[in-house]
Structure 1
Amino acid sequence: MEQNTQPLVKHGNNFDLITLWLHDKSPNSRRGYYLDIIQFTRLIGDIPLDQITLNDLQAFSNALGAKGYAVATISRKLAAVKSLLTFSYRVRVIPNNVGSLIRLPKGKDRLAERILSQSQVRAMIDLTSKLRDKTLIRFLYATGARVSEVCALKWRDVQPIRNGRAQVSLLGKGNKTRVVVFSTEMWELLQQLRGADGLNEPVFKSLQKGHLDPSRVNRIVREAAERAGIEGKVSPHWLRHSHASHSLERGAPLQLVKQSLGHSHIAMTERYLHARPDESSALYLGV
């Protein structure tokens, strides 16, 4: 029987396909992916996706390298292009998935450099005087939430449970909701911040009383790290990394940490076990 090769979507040009591909992704992912794809399309020009060749992908990779992008950034941008081409292939717009032919470059894994010590996290919290910012930093660390998840929170997403503890419902990647339980102390700090705010108001407000922008959260965390004397471009994601590493060090089950962080695969969570090992063969050399 002859296979149906009719496209599964209506489209007029590359922009239509890009829009369809981005449709179900989170707002944060949409912004990042869109910028990466626009950078690629500027290089190849107005070429339909079904005419893209391996040469085009390699030329994009080489151009990024020539501009001095880090290996991790090049890998992310190529992954975005590969994802778009895979989507286009699955909806039968392109006959072959040329994206499957290019390998993503791998650089040095710098996860260990982005894990703060518990004393550094404590210093960031203690040296931050503004209640909103102090609560925000502590909440990012306590829950391991992504910055986009925290920025979207309303008070209806946070509620008390048994034993004085509380929980938060986070909408993560792939529009998947997960629930993270946190301590009584964190709940009490949130209640100080809330005041008389209603259920539909943002947990973390901007000066204009709307939701905080991710860029503002980045500045708050970076400034807190500078006050604590921490080197490096500390971001909210460092607090997520620290949450994972510290909870595993304190005996949290790997599967529980995976669920709390919203990882799709256990291998993503296992990276934290290898980033901060307790032993190595070097300790047996006596030098």
Structure 2
Amino acid sequence: MNYLALLKNMNDEQYLAYLKDHLKDRHLLDENRNLSLANSSEQDFLELFFLEKLFPQDKKFSLHTVKAYRSDAKTLLTFLTDHSLSFRDIGFPEVKAYNKFIKEKYAAKSAIRKLEFFRRLLNFGYETQFYKAHLSTWISKPVSKKGHYIIEETRHEEAQTRIQVRELNQRDAEFLISFFPRIVKATRNREQLEKRNLLIGYLLYTTGLRASELLSLNWGSFRYNRKGFLFADVIGKGKKPRSIPIREETKEILFNYRSTIGESVEINIDDTSPLFFALYNKNEPLLNKKRLTYPTLYKIVKEAVHMAGKNLKVTPHWFRHTFVTLLLENDVPLAVVKDWAAIRIFPLLIYT
């Protein structure tokens, strides 16, 4: 029976009645009317684990999260099947063997997630008397650096251990940004282009904006809060709004850019004109405000990278990773990092 599908269509009264009858009939309540799976089937154990711990009714989950849980469950089931084990057979030797298997086969990021799934399942089993011992205490997760990584393509049967950092350290990031203005070759509007490119670099580095968020900025996206600090309001993934503080050095470059292109530096939240627009080589270039495109932004970063002699794989998104990692390394609270960058954060892991 699929508990998840069934319970979604029940009201509160039906839900309580169902739990009473179903759990009592299947002898899943102890003398204190607490959930007890000491004598349950493995099917009941698994379905109740998914229902109570992974997908409770009052929470919504993204397709990415659902897919990850299914993948973790499949990995565990495959391991048990390959070794002719059932969930009831899991004890200290099996926990250590599975732990070793996961750490050897998967990169740290995936291994931590899969072992966390295993830990939660074992804890649920102990809480419900399915397991008589606290087996999760024997799980040891690999250490993962704070940051972002690429797991390179490997064959299905091979361990995913080859990773490449997708971020810059502070020195390299600031050195690279210094080349953003230097790539300008045009003579007309040269100063405006240089100021524009410098601002692009600083906003990428000091705000953690996604490329799409950066390109969608208007002059009206900026505002002062009650304490007089400048913020940028953006609409991120899933159309979720958030506000990002603008550092003083970036603010200075922002106003300098506005002055150079002949625009007002007075904050006007009703101004929907694009912050970044193409500066055409025409007699009246600033009258044609066509919003800057991603290919142009990508080209700016790539040309700066090439001129600076840095890693040619660097893209605009690397600055977002750099921003998040620098915040964490400077002990900025996780909740603050999450709000500013609009990311999902797990212990020592960051998902964009």
TM-score (norm 1): 0.53
Residue 179 of structure 1 and its aligned partner are, at CA, apart by 0.4
> C-alpha deviations, 1:56-92, integer Å up to 9, x for none?
xxxxxxxxxxxxxxxxxxxxxxxxxxxxxxxxxxxxx
Give the counterpart of 1:168 among 224, 232, 251: 232
CA distance in 2, matches of 1:156, 1:178: 14
Alignment pair present for 1:209 and 2:289: yes
Give yes or no for contact 2:205–2:323 (8 Å, CA) kept in 1. yes
SS of aligned partner of 1:168: strand
Give yes or no for contact 2:180–2:301 (8 Å, CA) kept in 1. no
1:181-220 matches, cutoff 5 A: 181-195=245-259, 196-197=263-264, 199-207=271-279, 208-220=288-300
Residue 115 of structure 1 and its aligned partner are, at CA, apart by 1.0
Aligned to 2:220: 156
SS of aligned partner of 1:266: strand
Alignment pair present for 1:128 and 2:200: no
> C-alpha deviations, 1:134-180, integer Å up to 9, x for none?
11011011110000011111010012346663100111010000101
Give yes or no for contact 1:218–1:235 (8 Å, CA) kept in 2. yes
Unaligned runs of 5+ residues in structure 1 are 4-104, 274-287
Structure 1 residues 230 and 161, CA, compared in 2 at 3 Å: closer, same or farther?
same
Give the counterpart of 1:266 among 332, 336, 345: 345
Corresponding residue pairs, total: 167
Give yes or no for contact 1:115–1:242 (8 Å, CA) kept in 2. yes
TM-score (norm 2): 0.44
Residue 128 of structure 1 and its aligned partner are, at CA, apart by 2.7
Give yes or no for contact 2:222–2:233 (8 Å, CA) kept in 1. yes
Higher CA-based Rg: 2
Structure holding more helix per residue: 1
CA distance in 2, matches of 1:258, 1:230: 29
Aligned to 1:72: none
SS of aligned partner of 1:216: helix
The one-letter code sitting in structure 2 at the alignment partner of 1:151 is L
CA distance in 1, matches of 2:162, 2:232: 31
Give yes or no for contact 2:180–2:300 (8 Å, CA) kept in 1. no
CA distance in 1, matches of 2:316, 2:204: 7
Identity of aligned residues (%): 30
Give yes or no for contact 2:215–2:292 (8 Å, CA) kept in 1. yes
CA distance in 2, matches of 1:183, 1:190: 10
Aligned to 1:87: none
Aligned to 1:119: 171
Give yes or no for contact 1:168–1:180 (8 Å, CA) kept in 2. yes
The one-letter code sitting in structure 2 at the alignment partner of 1:117 is N
Structure 1 residues 142 and 232, CA, compared in 2 at 3 Å: closer, same or farther?
same
The one-letter code sitting in structure 2 at the alignment partner of 1:187 is K
Give yes or no for contact 1:166–1:181 (8 Å, CA) kept in 2. yes
CA distance in 1, matches of 2:249, 2:229: 8
Structure 1 residues 109 and 184, CA, compared in 2 at 3 Å: closer, same or farther?
farther
The one-letter code sitting in structure 2 at the alignment partner of 1:266 is I
1:1-287 matches, cutoff 5 A: 107=160, 110=163, 113-129=165-181, 130-161=194-225, 165-195=229-259, 196-197=263-264, 199-207=271-279, 208-263=288-343, 265-267=344-346, 270-272=348-350
Structure 1 residues 142 and 109, CA, compared in 2 at 3 Å: closer, same or farther?
farther
Tell me whether 152-161 or 235-244 shows the greater mean CA deviation.
152-161
Residue 108 of structure 1 and its aligned partner are, at CA, apart by 5.1
CA distance in 2, matches of 1:212, 1:230: 25
SS of aligned partner of 1:179: strand
Structure 1 residues 119 and 164, CA, compared in 2 at 3 Å: closer, same or farther?
farther
CA distance in 2, matches of 1:242, 1:225: 15
The one-letter code sitting in structure 1 at the alignment partner of 2:199 is T
> C-alpha deviations, 1:87-117, integer Å up to 9, x for none?
xxxxxxxxxxxxxxxxxx895574x511101
Structure 1 residues 193 and 184, CA, compared in 2 at 3 Å: closer, same or farther?
same
Unaligned runs of 5+ residues in structure 2 are 1-5, 7-155, 182-193, 280-287
